[in-house]
A and B are shown apart, each in its own frame.
Chain A
Amino acid sequence: MFMFEKAIRGSRQYWIWLFCLLCVILAGLAFYLYQLNLGLGVTGMSRNVSWGMYIAQFTFFVGVAASAVMVVLPYYLHDYKAFGRVTVLGEFLAITAVVMCCLFIFVDLGQPARVFNIILYPTPWSLMFWDMISLSGYLLLNAMITVVTLTAEREEVAPPRWIRPVIVLSIPWAVSIHTVTAFLYSGLPGRSSWLTAIMAPRFLAGAFCSGPALLILFCLILRRTTGFDVGQKAINALSVIVTYAMVINVFFILVEAFTVLYSRIPADVAHLQYLYLGLDGNYHLVPWMWLSVLLAAVALALLLVPSWRRNPVILPIACLAVFFSLWLDKGLGLIVGGFVPSPLDTVTTYTPTLPEWSIVLGIYAIGAVMITVFYKIALAVHGEIGEADVHVPAVPAGPADR
């Protein structure tokens, strides 16, 4: 198998870390079996809020997956050399995120055994069909690209020429996955808070700041734990990308808010009111949404000052703020807020239950295992070819080897 031998050699901390993740995965699996047995009634979802954490997390991670384009595009199209080392990390992050997305969809199905009905009865007028095509295609493209480029790197030869068109194709494809995901929601006539043309652009802007923010965090952790350095130039460039994307993201949110609030159409206002002020005595999401706003403000303040953005202490704080601000905005408010109030004006509280959280955490742990193993492989290849300019330990390892 593809260089997996690199992943089975590691230090004690490496194995302890993997073992902890395995425990979280097993807990998630146990709760999934429980859900399978009793039905989705064990979650906090209901008649009126019929999609919850699972679909919201799916949406968020499609964004993380799409964001790989932010390193792939400069590196391959503009030959931006500084991204030489970070690109493969971005692609691995994309692969992991897509797998997580598929898992989030899968655990949300009421009849998971019938999932292949989507393929058995292909329905091109359903956006979900296209989402399946775009996600699986994206997974395939990125898997192909990483295997081919990394193998070439290990053999110390240039990658075969045919891979270049594949890489170029992966760029619009990345945009397509998040666009199609936005269309899942924005094409529905009865949900006024989703029925907006800015949905896809907003998704992309959110993706292009939260994904690279996560990538920066991973790079900083790698530098700390393994000594593998993607280079300060790459990190600085990524932080500029995060800054611009975050500014555009906030701008899009404000544009949307203006349209809704100035036009004052009650059905549209109600959703925003529920999220930010509370509706009918229901304030469940209000603190979280304001936390998201606060984090966005903090992130912008820290990122917009160039010297702060380059500061090794401030940058990770800003990245965390970006990530969690968007996690709350897109991974919670957007989906749940679209269902409340319901078409019949009902305000329903949605609170994720313990099984739901455990399953979500289990999928996160699967993602963490994948990232750990993938990054270990990537680093081992880099270590093997022994680049002179950086110190890379022969077998990089650490408690958080990712």
Chain B
Amino acid sequence: MKITRKDFLRLSGLSFLAGGAMEAARAIAGRSSAATESQSTPVAQSVRWGMVVDLRRCQKEKGCTACTDACDAAHNVPRLADPQHQVNWIWTQPYETVFPFIQNGYAEQSDAGIPVPLLCNHCASPPCVHVCPTQATWKRADGIVMMDWHRCIGCRYCMAACPYGSRSFNWVDPRPAIAHINPDFPTRSKGVVEKCNFCEERLANGLKPSCVDACPQKALVFGNLADPNSEPRQLLRQRFAVQREPELGTGPSVYYLV
């Protein structure tokens, strides 16, 4: 068969039209499927662990380190002399550095310097997971962002990617810096990254995270964000809550009542 130039043009015009129509059809279909998906998301995901931190309660206990202490003891987190090598799972940082967007120029007197507990946000769309070249960090179906310390190659790409500074690298061997080793939890070697695991080992046994149980003010409220009747969801309905840098689209599972 011989195709003349005219035929060719006609054919390509047709295929172009067909392609355009398919694109349009796909776009329409895509929109409707996206709509159904957004309605069905809470059903599809029945568990999404999350936490609400009540800063008003936390503030009442001046100089308190109960959550950090409980977590460090449970997870064999080392206490290193050099602050630059420090490993942090849950720790505190001054209010104004955590929530720079709440600074209006006049409110500092009341809030400045208040320690805000920080931990991994177990993001819904975690940048750390997206960048890890070995899948040593991954997101579970229940929303917990996990770490495999035996697979991690220590490239620290996840540390560059996490917008919250939630990840720590073992710059040195952590074991000598652990006061009492908890035999029920693994210690880590030098050269791997670690972070908060939402106490998945306790959740598996039906317990709440160590920090939640340790807090004398019950300022840390843990529960299933996918369940509208869970404790955190009730709090989020009643009070004004913020996430850290929500504009980045990471979808943090940790909320702060300010």
Chain A interface residues toward B at CB < 8 A: 38-41, 45-48, 50-51, 105, 108-112, 114-115, 117-118, 120-121, 123, 125-129, 132, 184-185, 187-191, 266, 338-339, 342-346, 348
Contacts and interface: CB of A to CB of B under 8 A. Distances in A.
A123 B160 contact: no
B159 A188 contact: no
A189 B191 contact: no
A9 to B, nearest CB: 41
B245 interface: yes
Contacts of A342: 165
A261 to B, nearest CB: 19
Interface in B207-258: 245, 248-250
Contacts of B83: 47
A39 B85 CA distance: 11
Q: Which secondary structure characterizes the binding site on chain A? A: loop
A173 B127 CA distance: 27
Given A114-B153, A121-B135, A189 B168 contact: no
B153 A117 contact: yes
A182 to B, nearest CB: 14
A126 B245 CA distance: 23
Contacts of A266: 100
B26 interface: no
Contacts of B191: 39-40, 109-111
Interface string B152-188: 1111110111111100111111000000000000000
Given A51-B160, A132-B133, 19 more contacts: A38-B190, A40-B171, A40-B191, A45-B171, A46-B85, A47-B85, A110-B191, A111-B153, A111-B191, A114-B152, A114-B153, A123-B135, A126-B133, A128-B157, A184-B157, A189-B249, A190-B127, A190-B161, A190-B162
Interface in B125-160: 127, 130-136, 151-157, 159-160
Contacts of B157: 126, 128, 184
Contacts of A189: 127, 161, 163, 248-250
B84 interface: yes
B33 interface: no
B124 to A, nearest CB: 13
A125 B135 CA distance: 10
Contacts of A188: 127, 131, 160-161, 163
A129 B169 contact: no
A108 B157 CA distance: 11
A128 B133 contact: yes
A48 B132 CA distance: 18
21 contacts: A38-B173, A40-B154, A40-B191, A45-B171, A46-B171, A47-B85, A47-B169, A51-B160, A110-B153, A111-B152, A114-B152, A118-B133, A118-B134, A121-B134, A123-B134, A126-B131, A188-B160, A266-B100, A339-B160, A344-B118, A345-B100
Interface residues of B, number: 48
A39 B156 CA distance: 14
Contacts of A344: 93, 97-98, 118, 164-165
Nearest to A127: B131
Contact of A41 (B131, B156, B171): B171
Interface in B37-81: none
A115 B133 CA distance: 10
Nearest to B248: A189
Interface in B91-142: 93, 97-98, 100, 118, 127, 130-136
Contact of A117 (B82, B97, B151): B151
B135 A343 contact: no
Contacts of A339: 160
Contacts of A109: 153-155, 191
A352 B190 CA distance: 20
B104 to A, nearest CB: 14
Nearest to B100: A345
B192 interface: yes
A114 B136 CA distance: 11
A39 B189 CA distance: 10
A117 B100 contact: no
A190 B248 contact: yes
A50 B133 CA distance: 17
B197 interface: no
A117 B134 contact: yes
A286 B88 CA distance: 30
B226 to A, nearest CB: 24
Contact of B156 (A50, A120, A127, A338): A50
Nearest to B162: A190
B160 A50 contact: yes
Contact of B84 (A47, A105, A121, A185): A47
A108 B155 CA distance: 7
Nearest to A338: B160
B123 to A, nearest CB: 10
A31 B136 CA distance: 28
User: Max chain A CB contacts within 10 Å: which of B85, B133, B135, B173?
Assistant: B133
Given A109-B191, A110-B170, A117-B136, A343 B165 contact: yes
Nearest to A110: B154
A190 B128 CA distance: 11
